[in-house]
Amino acid sequence: MSDGDKQRFNSLKQLSDLRFPAEWHPAARTIQRKIILHVGPTNSGKTYNALKCLGSANSGVYCGPLRLLAHEIFDRFNSKGIPCNLVTGEERRELKGINVPLTSSTIEMVNLQKQVDVAVIDEIQMISDQQRGWAWTQALLGLQAKEIHICGEPSAVPLVKSICQSINEDIEIREYKRLSSLEISQKSLDGDLKKIKKGDCVVTFSRKSIFSLKHEIEAATGLRCAVAYGSLPPETRSQQAKLFNDPNSGFDVLVASDAIGMGLNLNIKRIVFESIKKYDGIGVRYIPIPQIKQIAGRAGRFGTENAVGEVTALETSDLKYVHQAMDAPHKNLEMAGLQPTMEMVELFAHQLPDVKEFAVLLEKFEDLARVDGQYFLCNFHTQKLIANSIELIPMTIPERFIFVTGPINTSDQRIMKNVQKFAMLHSQGKPCNISRIVTIPEKVPHNDELLGDLESIHRTLMLYLWLR
């Protein structure tokens, strides 16, 4: 290796050194922050209590995992007469002409430059998520708040404690118990859909089976079913949840995927697992234990006639796994995610002028990056797929970074094509006429394929708003 090469290698190693992420946020390090961790099972009032502190603050921010939740908190505060703004990747709603003390935000979009009295970080266990974990780490290390309320599962306690210790911050732990009891049934439904009753939420893991189950249950019981699954737009999901919760809507059963695990207010009496396996992009696997617990925990709702929740399975063979999962002790999280900032990637790229492809650049960063034992580098898998699809379109590194970190479902080929169209227009400096890119169908979709098209159109519109 020549001296020049050595120097360049050292400089690359330095630029990809992620061992001290707390130092990325010098302003937060100058504030004496008080950290309160609210932990407990699903439906134990963690978020409720954290929001009570936020509601009485002079200034504050809520950081949530989903657009749906950010909206719900925004609505909740404003309807109580506490002015609150909304900031998500797709949408900004800012109340004009008055002093607005609060902001409800999706965690990736939270403003770390602003000083506030109180911040809430919800669903902290997501800090270990392979793709999105970095956003929780960033909020935890970077929020300039005098008081930070963190809510989540007990599995996150040792990791959050250890991160706080590493930055010399004290942490107070408040433990919660479920507000309603939860019974795991000894009997399955013996495969008989006729046994589905009002207040049941039937859980299955593919869109196809959600709709076929809905039709089968409606035929077998005469009850009408609302649906909720991941690629259903958040507004529709919340409208379906409202139908199910309203005893007079005529929709008495919910057929849903794991999308009910977070963010929806649901009045479920009993969770019925129709399936306990899911295709994860590679193979069919058992649903992980923490997820079974989170979904099951949705049964039973404090202060309603469904105060005691029940959990069962459609098939006897699946009920055994549900029991095992519910009895299993929780496993502590070990590492928090990190993602380099755009500036870091840009400086890194300057040292490698010969590397033209952005995906290769990301790969080199991944190879060289060093992290401390309690952190990991979030994977660049989707970023690399997006980078490859727009590789031939001329753009600067920061522009590429915006595209590759966008909310893009890379398994949807239609949206991947539209990403290229957006990138092309941007690169040519042309305005984007969205009605030329998507056409909203006039008729309600009546089959699986048309429904898939509609979901793609929605994703494209959301990406358009995000890029705007």
Ligand X SMILES: Nc1ncnc2c1ncn2[C@@H]1O[C@H](COP(=O)(O)OP(=O)(O)OP(=O)(O)O)[C@@H](O)[C@H]1O
Interacting residues toward ligand X by CB under 6 A: 40, 42-48, 151, 179, 265, 302-303
Q: Which is nearer to Mg ion, 40 or 89 (CB)?
A: 40
How many angstroms separate the CA atoms of 115 and 101, rounded? Answer: 11
Min separation Cβ 122 and Mg ion, Å: 6
306 binds, among Mg ion, ligand X, none (CB under 5 to 8 A by kind): none
The interface region with Mg ion, picked from 47-55, 89-97, 163-171, 231-239 by CB under 5 A, is 47-55
Q: What DSSP assignment string belongs to 152-206? A: E-GGGHHHHHHHHHHTT--EEEEE---SS-EEE-S---TT-GGG--TTEEEE-SS
429 binds, among ligand X, Mg ion, none (CB under 5 to 8 A by kind): none
Min separation Cβ 132 and ligand X, Å: 17
Q: Which is nearer to ligand X, 245 or 418 (CB)?
A: 245
Phi/psi class of residue 429: alpha, beta or left (left: φ > 0; alpha: ψ in -120 to 50)? left
Contact call for residue 312 and Mg ion (CB under 5 A): no
Contact 245, 186 (CB under 8 A): no
Min separation Cβ 257 and ligand X, Å: 16
The interface region with Mg ion, picked from 43-51, 99-107, 170-178, 261-269 by CB under 5 A, is 43-51
Q: Which is nearer to ligand X, 9 or 302 (CB)?
A: 302
26 binds, among Mg ion, ligand X, none (CB under 5 to 8 A by kind): none
Contact 347, 398 (CB under 8 A): no
Give which of 176, 162, 144, 147 is closest to 42, Cα–Cα: 176
456 binds, among Mg ion, ligand X, none (CB under 5 to 8 A by kind): none
Min separation Cβ 265 and ligand X, Å: 6
42 binds, among Mg ion, ligand X, none (CB under 5 to 8 A by kind): ligand X
Residues 43, 44, 47, 240: which binds Mg ion (CB under 5 A)?
47
Joined tokens for residue 120: 């809430």
Min separation Cβ 46 and Mg ion, Å: 5
Q: Which is nearer to ligand X, 45 or 452 (CB)?
A: 45
How many angstroms separate the CA atoms of 37 and 299, rounded? Answer: 24
20 binds, among Mg ion, ligand X, none (CB under 5 to 8 A by kind): none
Min separation Cβ 151 and Mg ion, Å: 5
Min separation Cβ 134 and Mg ion, Å: 21
302 binds, among Mg ion, ligand X, none (CB under 5 to 8 A by kind): ligand X
How many angstroms separate the CA atoms of 306 and 312, rounded? Answer: 15
Q: Which is nearer to ligand X, 38 or 278 (CB)?
A: 38
Give which of 379, 373, 367 is closest to 334, Cα–Cα: 373
Min separation Cβ 305 and Mg ion, Å: 22
207 binds, among Mg ion, ligand X, none (CB under 5 to 8 A by kind): none
Q: Which is nearer to Mg ion, 150 or 256 (CB)?
A: 150
CA distances, 124 to each of 23, 149, 343 (Å): 21, 10, 26
Q: Which is nearer to ligand X, 18 or 69 (CB)?
A: 69
Q: CA angle at residue 14 from 9 to 16, to 5 degrees?
A: 95
Over 86-99, what HEC string results?
Answer: EECCCCEECCCCCC
Q: Which is nearer to ligand X, 279 or 302 (CB)?
A: 302
Distance, CA of 411 to chain centre? 17
How many Cα neighbours within 13 Å face the side chain of 258? 17
Residue nearest to Mg ion (CB): 47
How many angstroms separate the CA atoms of 46 and 223, rounded? Answer: 34
Note the maximum CA span of the chain.
78
Residue written as token pair 């869109």: 207
Element (H, E) at 135: helix 133-142
Q: Which is nearer to ligand X, 290 or 452 (CB)?
A: 290
Min separation Cβ 47 and Mg ion, Å: 3
CA-CA-CA-CA dihedral for 78, 262, 127, 419, to nearest 10:
-90
Q: Which residues bind Mg ion (CB under 5 A)?
A: 47
